[in-house]
Amino acid sequence: MRPVRQSLLAGGLATLATATTLGLAPGAAVASPAPRISVNWFGTADVPAHAATIGGRYACGAERGLAYIEVHLGQRVRRGSITGFGFGVIGACTDDRTAGAWTATIPADRGAFRGGPTTAIARLVVEPNSLTETTEPLRLVRHCARH
């Protein structure tokens, strides 16, 4: 054998010995995927109803249990800000249902959401103790009722 190959072999054996000492076997378990949530870039503002509707995607990762979305929405306007809080119901994270789309209608605390830039804080909660959060900018587009 050439000396270079011997050193590669020795290095590989040392790595295998270290992995065995630490209890790591080839193909050892990989960390479970974490839950994720995202918010769509656009939502709708229903001015007469004083509410906004936004949506996005979620993935449960390895979590299983009752799941829902909490949404805080904030929009800067000339006279201050409009805020609101709402829920998106998605049911449960099960082996058959691990990802999907969500929507939530958020009533304004005071005033009315308008078309324009807005910030959403969305949380994916999987009971009993999993919480994933994202803060994302989006744009509300005024909703026009059809007659």
Q: Are residue 113 and residue 130 in the same domain, yes or no?
A: yes
What confidence tens digit (pLDDT) does each residue in 78-124 have? 878 999 999 998 989 999 989 999 999 999 999 999 999 999 999 99
Closest CA to 58 of 131, 142, 2: 131
Whichever domain contains 117, its CATH number is 2.60.40.10
Tokens of 78: 């000339």
Q: Are residue 18 and residue 4 in the same domain, yes or no?
A: yes
pLDDT of residue 126: 93
User: Averaged over 58-77, what is the pLDDT?
Assistant: 94
- In this structure, are residues 44 and 53 in contact, taking their beta carbons and an 8 Å threshold? yes
Q: Specify the pTM.
A: 0.74
Q: Are residue 78 and residue 119 in the same domain, yes or no?
A: yes
Number of domains in the chain: 2
Residue range of the domain that includes 12: 1-30
Radius of gyration of the chain (CA): 24
Q: Are residue 68 and residue 88 in the same domain, yes or no?
A: yes
CA distance linking residue 122 with residue 135, whole number of Å? 6
Q: Are residue 92 and residue 122 in the same domain, yes or no?
A: yes
Helix locations, the chain, DSSP H: 3-21
Q: Are residue 81 and residue 13 in the same domain, yes or no?
A: no
